[in-house]
Amino acid sequence: MPHPDTLIAAAHAAADAAGAVIRPLFRSGIAADLKGDESPVTVADRGAEQAMRALLGERFPEHGILGEEFGLDRPDARFRWVLDPIDGTRAFITGRPSFTILIALMDGDTPILGIIDQPVTGERWTGCLGRPTLFQGGFGGAPGARRCDTLAAAELSCTSPEMLAGDPWPRWQRLQGAVNRTSWGGDSYAYGLLALGQIDIVAEADMKVWDWAALVPVVEGAGGRVTDWEGRKLNPEGVARTLAVGDPALLPLAVEALRG
């Protein structure tokens, strides 16, 4: 395994390459196509992923690469880069700077490195297993979830009620009824805010591995926890219901609320 500093440098270079593709297309009136699951995709999504694949494939030809837009290369590799070139394509299309570039490196089923990058505002969160989360950006704030050990004081966030349709909705509402306040929107940007102590809980459903892998090292490196709704380690296969808390004391309380 390469030294963590080498891996982090490569992840930063990949984020820079993706951002160079994305920024000129932001608020440009870009058109979107619909994928098979009815989610939008643009030339920015595809171009950013291709740029990251090229860079990471050149530096680590023995590593696997899984991306939302172009699938999996080298499926038998122990180490796998997991890429979401634009998490929050709807936000990107509508000119809102809450979308992010997500880059993760997994060792088997465990995320060991994660980047959340907002290429327009210049904010970047870097999480690496065994190290504290680092934050770069011009808007202030430092990584470190705030102390919040009661649901009644907690700020809850979720991207969209649409992802909670069906069975998750009544369970999520029980959590919502126990917290101080709820905010909607933000996609993975909300997890960066959680790592800065601005949000206390993010509970979402319909999350694939490229949606959550990068978030785990960032949140946990800031002192928080990321699990599924039962408090278990997330499984990269299939679709997950994710629960992130800034203060670990909130985890059992949030799990109990989601169970009802």
pLDDT in tens, 11-27: 999 999 999 999 999 99
Domain covering 151-259, topology: D-Maltodextrin-Binding Protein; domain 2 (3.40.190)
Query: Chain-wide mean pLDDT for the chain?
Result: 95
Task: Give CATH 3.40.190.80 domain extents, the chain.
Answer: 151-259
Question: What does the pLDDT read at residue 32?
Answer: 85
pTM of this structure = 0.95
CATH number of 4-136: 3.30.540.10
Element (H, E) at 67: strand 64-67
Rounded CA-CA distance 119/210 in Å is 18
Looking at 60-208, list the stretches that DSSP marks H as alpha helix, in order from N- to C-terminal side. 89-93, 168-178, 189-195
What is the b/e burial string over 13-30, where b = at least 16 CB atoms within 10 angstroms of the residue's CB?
Answer: ebbbbbbebbeebbeeee
Stretches where the chain sits below pLDDT 70 are 38
- Region(s) of the chain under CATH 3.30.540.10: 4-136
What is the C-alpha to C-alpha distance for residues 49 and 57, in angstroms, rounded to an integer?
Answer: 12
pLDDT tens for residues 28-61? 998 888 877 768 889 999 999 999 999 999 999 9
How many Å apart are CA 114 and CA 136, to the nearest integer? 14
Instruction: Output the pLDDT for position 38.
Output: 66
